[in-house]
Structure 1
Amino acid sequence: MTNFSFQFSYRVGVADINYGGHVANSAVLNFFQDARIAYLENLGPYSEIDLGGCGIIMPEAHVFYRQEMFLGDQLNIGVRSTHLKRSSWLMEYHIERAGELTAEGETPLVCFNYETRKPCRIPSEFRRSLTVFEGLPL
């Protein structure tokens, strides 16, 4: 998996499977979230609710399903951040099983102050960690 700065391993469990016998659409968004949480933890003491002064909200999500995934599949989920702006950035995901693409997607993320219930700027220390890790301009 090239051009993905972070990789997360996940084994498909029974709760991820729908009545069709394959991974449910909603489960893929959960895969993205698990990988996103691990990515943020990898950058430092960060989480979805604390980037060092604010959290994040996700105004939309895009998922592109390429192949079915099944119970017990070992998945490798690549995560990267791009399009860094003043208060938001884009997180991209790439899911593979044994080197074959099964799904990909992206989620815009907006920094959000949960006390004021308003968007806010990306905290400077988090921005620095993100740009260094991804090799993005500050």
Structure 2
Amino acid sequence: MENFSFVMPYKVRVVDINYGGHVSNAAVLNYFQDARIAYLAALGPYSELDIGNGCGLIMPESHVHYHAEMFHGEDLNIGVRTHLLGRSSFELAYRIERGSELVAEGTTPLVAFDYQARKPRRLPAAFKESLARFERLDPRNPPEKC
């Protein structure tokens, strides 16, 4: 998958299907979450609840664009990459393909969040460096700001 340094395979399960006979909206957001968790683990010892310095991540919104239906049993590939990088947030872009066909794509902004203090924080420097290294970005000149 071009321009994605992380790709995760996924097989559509029966629980992902809605009454319309195709993958549900909720399932696609779950695909994004599963891929995001795997992406963070690939960066280093990170998770949605721990990106260092007492910070986790919180997602204020999500966007999904569907290009085609997805069905039970299909093999998909879910790509994740950092799309935007700011001081206290970054945005992940997702791409779901069936073979070489684009079936869905989307974004989720993620904000560094101190769950004890219940407030946003700056991205920890070590996390930001790991992200830049994984994505082969210059941390002094990252892609656009959030």
Which TM-score band (shorter chain)? over 0.9
Question: Is the aligned partner of 1:30 residue 2:30?
Answer: yes
* Deviation, structure 1 residue 127: 0.6
* Deviation, structure 1 residue 137: 2.2
Give 2:45's aligned residue. Answer: 45
State the Cα deviation string for residues 32-58 of structure 1 (Å, max 9, x = none): 000000000001010000001210011
Q: Distance in 2 between matches of 1:9 and 1:122?
A: 29
Question: Is the aligned partner of 1:97 residue 2:98?
Answer: yes
Q: Distance in 2 between matches of 1:83 and 1:105?
A: 13
Mapping 1:1-138, distance limit 5 Å: 1-53=1-53, 54-138=55-139
Give 2:143's aligned residue. Answer: none
State the Cα deviation string for residues 59-84 of structure 1 (Å, max 9, x = none): 01000000000001111001000221
Q: Distance in 2 between matches of 1:137 and 1:117?
A: 31
TM-score (norm 1): 0.98
TM-score (norm 2): 0.93
Structure 1 moving runs of 4+ over 6 Å: none
